[in-house]
């Protein structure tokens, strides 16, 4: 079978590799769609992780059809459509240092258990949409960490795939109002398309003052200006200015949930934010959310489909990785299989 392999720095190739065989406790999934993550592009640039230099399989945002089921496996049938938990395998994390990557024609799930390694999904959802399950679980965890729920007023910074996923996750949890902030007009248009209550172009005017207009305002600490009534700030951008803006506007006891990856240290003036007693929470991965988010996608897949910006056939998967690695060239690339 063919699999996408990092073979050298800035080089990925579709290579012939042995097809997997299933034991009595295993299933084999024919991959139908697999998203390309920023980590895939990073591994490609690095030439692979240290222990896999020159031969690293990549891809972990996968959905596919079960084509083989071991005799001892329960909860799985040939023909089922499934999404996959790349963290739960026994042979290393799929596409992140493990022995397999999901940008391959077939994927073996050893000791496969429903609700742990895979989840069966409705067959009417397009493959490329249900393949968003893994990155949307990251966004869902960021929202879970924030505590956003019924009646919350939320602002999401960053209208890329994770930010849009956070928008939809907050709404699925009953948020009363969600505003999305970005600097790219097309991203803000997409946020409105999938249901944002309001958007702010942070290049135009003061974000904190706009939030007061949009979500209302509350008294600040005595002697200080009023604050936006926003309950939850979600950083899905990973930009220092987002942290500084959020903390300058956050009301007393407000929550800042950071799901974006910051590649440089961020300076915080603790004295300035002390009167607000903000709650700063970081979010990484999806400890419990990998199949929790599936319900939200099933309920609103028509909205989630707008997160996808590019579909690339598997035969052109190296181009898909290059596209995903080009800043500003695209948003969410999904590789589709015949």
Q: Tokens in use for 288?
A: 């419990």
Residue 299: count other Cβ atoms within 10 Å of its Cβ: 12
Q: CB neighbours (10 Å) of residue 102?
A: 30
**CA atoms within 13 A of residue 222's CA, in its CB half-sphere:** 0
User: Which residues are CB-contacts of 326 (< 8 A; sequence separation ≥ 6)?
Assistant: none
- Give the residue among 298, 292, 296 at the shortest CA–CA distance from 115: 292
Per-position pLDDT tens, the chain of length 338: 999 999 999 999 999 999 999 999 999 999 999 999 999 999 999 999 999 999 999 999 999 999 999 999 999 999 999 999 999 988 899 999 999 999 999 999 999 999 999 999 999 999 999 999 999 999 999 999 999 999 999 999 999 999 999 999 999 999 999 999 999 999 999 999 999 999 999 999 999 999 999 999 999 999 899 999 999 999 999 999 999 999 999 999 999 999 999 999 999 999 999 999 999 999 999 999 999 999 999 999 999 999 999 999 999 999 999 999 987 767 899 999 98
pLDDT at site 329: 67
In whole angstroms, give the CA distance from residue 36 to residue 42. Answer: 11
In contact, 1 and 106? CB cutoff 8 Å: yes
SS3 per residue for the chain: CEEEEEEECCEEEEEECCCCCCCCCCEEEEEEEEECCHHHHHHHHHCCCHHHCCCEECCCEEEEEEEEECCCCCCCCCCCEEEECCCCCCCCCCCCCCCCCCCECEEEECCCCECCCEEEECCCCCHHHHCCHHHHHHHHHHHHHHCCCCCCEEEEECCCHHHHHHHHHHHHCCCCEEEEEECCHHHHHHHHHCCCCEEEECCCCCHHHHHHHHHCEECCCCCCCCEECCCEEEECCCCHHHHHHHHHHCCCCCEEEECCCCCCCCCCCHHHHHHHCCEEEECCCCCCCCCHHHHHHHHCHHHHHHHCCEEEEHHHHHHHHHHHCCCCCCCCEEEECC
- Walk me through the domains of the chain, giving residue ranges and CATH numbers: 2-132+308-336 (3.90.180.10), 136-282 (3.40.50.720)
pLDDT digit string, tens, across residues 277-321: 999 999 999 999 999 999 999 999 999 999 999 999 999 999 999
Phi/psi at 236 (5° precision) = -110, 20
Residues contacting 322, CB < 8 A, separation 6+ = none
Residue found by looking up tokens 């799929």 in the block? 94
In the numeric block, the tokens 């769609």 are attached to: 33
pLDDT in tens, 101-154: 999 999 999 999 999 999 999 999 999 999 999 999 999 999 999 999 999 999
Structure tokens at 181: 């902030």
Nearest CA to 139 among 254, 285, 334, 312?
285
Per DSSP bridges, beta strands 11-16 and 81-84 are: unpaired
Q: How far apart are CA 290 and CA 278, in angstroms?
A: 28
pLDDT score recorded for residue 6: 98
**Is residue 24 within 8 Å of residue 109, measured between CB atoms?**
no
- In this predicted structure, what is the pLDDT of residue 338? 85
Partnered with residue 179 across adjacent β-strands are 155, 198
Backbone angles phi, psi at 230, to 5 degrees: -55, 130
- pLDDT for position 202: 96
């Amino acid at each position: 079978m063919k699999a996408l392999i990092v073979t050298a720095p800035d080089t990925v190739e579709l290579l012939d590799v042995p097809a997997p065989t299933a034991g009595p406790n295993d299933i084999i999934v024919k991959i139908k769609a697999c998203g390309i993550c920023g980590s895939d592009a990073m591994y490609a640039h690095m030439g692979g992780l240290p222990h896999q230099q020159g031969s690293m399989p990549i891809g972990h945002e996968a959905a596919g059809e079960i084509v083989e089921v071991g005799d001892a496996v329960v909860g799985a049938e040939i023909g089922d459509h499934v999404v996959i938990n790349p963290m739960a395998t026994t042979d290393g994390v799929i596409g992140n240092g493990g022995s397999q990557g999901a940008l391959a024609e077939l994927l073996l799930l050893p000791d496969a258990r429903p609700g742990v390694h895979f989840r069966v999904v409705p067959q009417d959802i397009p493959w490329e949409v249900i393949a968003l399950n893994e990155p949307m679980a990251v966004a869902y965890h960021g929202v879970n960490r924030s505590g956003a729920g019924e009646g919350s007023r939320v602002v999401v910074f960053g209208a890329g795939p994770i930010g849009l996923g956070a928008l939809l996750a907050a709404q699925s949890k009953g948020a009363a109002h969600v505003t999305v902030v970005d600097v790219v007009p097309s991203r803000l248009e997409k946020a409105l398309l999938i249901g944002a209550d309001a958007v702010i172009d942070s290049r135009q005017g003061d974000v904190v003052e706009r939030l007061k207009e949009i979500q209302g305002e509350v008294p600040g600490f005595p002697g200080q200006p009023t604050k936006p009534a926003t309950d939850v700030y979600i950083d899905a951008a990973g930009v220092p200015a987002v942290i500084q803006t959020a903390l300058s506007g956050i009301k007393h006891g407000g929550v800042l949930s950071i799901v974006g990856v910051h590649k440089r240290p961020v300076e915080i003036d603790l004295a300035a934010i002390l009167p607000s007693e903000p709650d700063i929470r970081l979010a990484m991965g999806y400890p419990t959310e990998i199949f929790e988010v599936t319900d939200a996608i099933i309920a609103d897949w028509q909205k989630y489909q707008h997160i996808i910006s590019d579909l690339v056939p598997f035969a052109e998967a190296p181009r898909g990785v290059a596209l995903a690695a080009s800043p500003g060239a695209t948003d969410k690339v999904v590789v589709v299989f015949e």
